[in-house]
Amino acid sequence: MRALLMGGLLAFVGAVAHAEDGSTIYEFDGSFDDAAFGVESAIIGQGLVIDYVSHTGEMLNRTAGDVGSSTKLFEAADIFLFCSAVVSRKVMEADPMNIAHCPYGIFVAEREGKVMVGYRNYPDGPMQEVQSLLDGIAREAVGE
């Protein structure tokens, strides 16, 4: 998860960026809380259930001293984890090893006063259907 967030931040260059490391990020014009609410609402609006919200930013801030760091990476960062029975079945019937990509995650992060919403890019082939789902959710969350 941390790699997902870090990779996404390295790719952040404007409204949307397709990074070499494999993340897509959208800039959000508003607060972290509003972006998180937007992501949650967009996921639920697709008829999906959020399985877990990882409060990654809190964990990184809380444990920085324990790992010998004084760097604050995020003001806030959460990852929303969920699955789609319909899409997951389709991509796993195409290749059962696509299980490695489940659950799917969309992150919201605030760093240096900028709020972003993003997700990990998936490989070509059947997993592009998952990426399309994630992109639709992320775009809805940022108001596109």
Residue 139 has what pLDDT? 97
Question: Whole-angstrom Cα distance, residue 139 to residue 121?
Answer: 14
- pLDDT, tens digit, 9 for 90 and up, residues 1-39: 444 444 444 333 345 544 547 899 999 999 999 999 999
123 Cβ neighbours under 8 A, 6+ residues apart: none
**Position 57 pLDDT exceeds 70:** yes
Q: How large is the average pLDDT for residues 43-49?
A: 97
% of the chain with per-residue pLDDT over 70? 85
- Check pLDDT > 80 for residue 123: yes
Range of the domain at 123: 2-142
Identify the three-state secondary structure at position 75.
coil
Tell me how crowded residue 112 is: count the other CB atoms within 10 A of its CB: 9
Mean pLDDT of 105-111: 98
Q: What is the number of residues in the chain? A: 144
- Specify the CATH number for the domain of residue 109: 3.30.310.70
pLDDT confidence of residue 9: 40
3-state class (DSSP) for residue 127:
coil
If one counts the domains in the chain, the total is 1
pLDDT band at 51 (very low <50, low <70, confident <90, very high): very high
- State pLDDT tens for residues 73-96: 999 999 999 999 999 999 999 999
Question: What value does the mean pLDDT take over residues 115-120?
Answer: 97
